[in-house]
Chains A and B, each alone.
Chain A
Amino acid sequence: MHSKRKVIDGTLKGMTIGAALTTASALFIVFYFVFTTGFSLLSFDLLVTDYNSVQYNAVLETPNQTMEFEKPEVIDSPFSYKYGIALEDSRNKDGESIISIAYVDDNSPLKTLLDKESGEPIEATKNNVITRISYEASPTSLTREGAASMAERLDSDTTIREIIFIEPGGGIRGSIIATLYLIGLTLVMALPLGIFSAIYLNEFAKDTRLTRTIRSFIDTLTGIPSIVYGLMAVSVFIPITARMNVADGLSIYAGAMTMAVILLPILIRTTEESLAAVPNEYREASLALGANDVQTTFKVVLPNALAGLLTATFLSIGRIIGESAALIFVMGTAVKDSVDPANGATTLAVHIWTLMSTEPANVELASTIAVIILTIVLILNTTVKLLAKKFDKIGNR
């Protein structure tokens, strides 16, 4: 009997430990996958490059100029001494062969190109992909001939008629900017609304049926899936922005309104908690000095609840960065390179969705974005924790 019980006990305890291990490993699996898959593409360039690739048909500003460039020591790829650029064979993310620019001298004529049609100045930079160079009196250089051949022909004695090159894109600058816009606009709308509502509920409201109803209505908001908020946004906020002539259709403005509503319950709750944590003695002291309730609230209570408000803000930022379903409906899934709040755009999270829902899915770039998101979430979480500790210490003094 005794040993049978020990076996059962052992099994149960083993299952308990196993469950905890499974949970813990989930975190490591997520981070491991995301970081290993996404690490290779992670670079500063990624953050500042456009996503969509752009093709340029360019001509030289001064076609007949002759210059001589020195090849820098560090470059081994085929180099054109006449134009000061180095080319290399490589592959794009679809596996096709391409010739990309490995180096451009600061004085290279390729830095002062003109768009063939509009005449606008453009420049060829590192990592751009040259697809063809056509000449007055030589055969056109094509990708399949390779970098060495292209570089050689550049140095041959003929004038260039046209250079066609591609800025490969694949960067997330647009999504980062859209995310920042969204965060800013949302906080501008949500913080005042949430804080004021919390102030009413905690400082001024009496325990009436109305107050209880207001509270329960606000609480119910948490039970609604975010995708339904997206639907609501399409039928409420998009028409509103159109009526206000602020935007037509998908827009970041509408997105910010949507996120503000989504954040409302947690903002109000956190703010209420931090207001409630301010000791009543402070309020009483202020009122006893002849200040009225509003002055007491804004000049005494609120400043003492600052840490809590900061926490609420950080939590909100984290939530905004992580939201996907609602924004897909209200801001769209088209990745933009020039972001206008009156138009749709993708945030980092929605960008992941777009990457993963096309065929073939771009898991690498999606993971890279996920690395950025997770890092930010990690930092925000740790900051909130540290704030909470500091907050406690102040409260206990």
Chain B
Amino acid sequence: MNPTFKVENLEVAYGETIALKDINLELYPKSITALIGPSGCGKSTFLRTLNRMNDLIPVCRISGRVQYHDQDIYHKQTDVINLRKSVGMVFQKPNPFPMSIFDNVAYGPKRQGIKDKDTLNSIVDKALKQAALFEEVSDRLDASARSLSGGQQQRLCIARALAMEPEVILMDEPTSALDPIATQKIETLLQELKKDYTIIIVTHSMHQAARISDYTAFFYMGELIETSDTDSLFQLPKKKQTEDYITGRFG
């Protein structure tokens, strides 16, 4: 199976601090890959290299190769905007724009130049349905996004990302700011979405990783310690550090 992402010898530094060292990893399509590890291990940094959000930090230096399909995304001629159309992101704390629900979801397509009302309507409806939010908001699409609950806002952000019809969705601890019920709703949603999308999720909860992911990668102090399919990693970890983390000896 051809990996969606192939990462080779990736090193990321912020000024003097080295955040990631010698990462080699493949990420597979239409599945959920969980990135786990204790705080500060570099998993979020890794996630952000996949859609070049690290570009926003001026002191960030990257070396190595990150290949999306057959393209080195850090090549000078890569169109970052196109990349982000295919590789979407959902953030830890829900961050809907101070606009209506409709405008939030329609934001991405509008920026790409889609103006036709009917097209936008169908895009928004489809995205909201895919995010399992449509039923709850279909009668008030013009209401402010801020009027939704935390869990609903996060599903709105997922819908917003889905509206771009990406191939990959990156999620940076998407449920850590939500209550257990909202978390469960989103976990169920992700199981549905993985049928059509490639999902990479950073999570500080290994239980979440064990519950929903197909593949897991364990990061520790900027290094990729171990990666394999989730069942194998959790039941038969190959490295001692992995085992220690999984059994709760640290982290």
Size of interface on B: residues with Cβ below 8 Å to A: 3
Assembly CA distance A4 to B112 (angstroms): 10
A1: chain B residues at CB < 8 Å are 112-113
User: How far apart are A85's CB and chain B's nearest CB, in angstroms?
Assistant: 71
A-B contacts, CB under 8 A, total: 6
- What are 6 pairs between A and B in contact, CB < 8 Å? A1-B112, A1-B113, A4-B113, A5-B111, A5-B112, A5-B113
**Which 5 A-B pairs give the minimum distances between C-beta atoms?**
A1-B113, A5-B113, A4-B113, A1-B112, A5-B111
Q: Closest chain B residue to A5 by CB distance?
A: B113
B112: chain A residues at CB < 8 Å are 1, 5
A5: chain B residues at CB < 8 Å are 111-113
Q: Closest chain B residue to A4 by CB distance?
A: B113
Size class of A's contact patch? under 10
User: How far apart are A282's CB and chain B's nearest CB, in angstroms?
Assistant: 37
B113: chain A residues at CB < 8 Å are 1, 4-5
Assembly CA distance A5 to B110 (angstroms): 11
B111: chain A residues at CB < 8 Å are 5
A4: chain B residues at CB < 8 Å are 113
User: How far apart are A9's CB and chain B's nearest CB, in angstroms?
Assistant: 10
User: How far apart are B108's CB and chain A's nearest CB, in angstroms?
Assistant: 13
Within 8 A of A (CB), among B102-117: 111-113
Within 8 A of A (CB), among B216-238: none
Within 8 A of A (CB), among B100-148: 111-113
Assembly CA distance A1 to B109 (angstroms): 12
Assembly CA distance A5 to B81 (angstroms): 12
Assembly CA distance A381 to B113 (angstroms): 48
Q: Closest chain A residue to B82 by CB distance?
A: A2
For A318-332 the 0/1 string (1 means CB < 8 A from B) is 000000000000000
Assembly CA distance A224 to B155 (angstroms): 50
Assembly CA distance A5 to B111 (angstroms): 8
Assembly CA distance A1 to B112 (angstroms): 7
User: How far apart are A217's CB and chain B's nearest CB, in angstroms?
Assistant: 34
Assembly CA distance A11 to B111 (angstroms): 16
Assembly CA distance A4 to B111 (angstroms): 11
For A1-31 the 0/1 string (1 means CB < 8 A from B) is 1001100000000000000000000000000
User: How far apart are B113's CB and chain A's nearest CB, in angstroms?
Assistant: 4
Q: Closest chain A residue to B111 by CB distance?
A: A5
User: How far apart are B164's CB and chain A's nearest CB, in angstroms?
Assistant: 14
Assembly CA distance A324 to B180 (angstroms): 65
User: How far apart are A3's CB and chain B's nearest CB, in angstroms?
Assistant: 10
User: How far apart are A301's CB and chain B's nearest CB, in angstroms?
Assistant: 40
Assembly CA distance A287 to B49 (angstroms): 55
Q: Closest chain B residue to A8 by CB distance?
A: B113
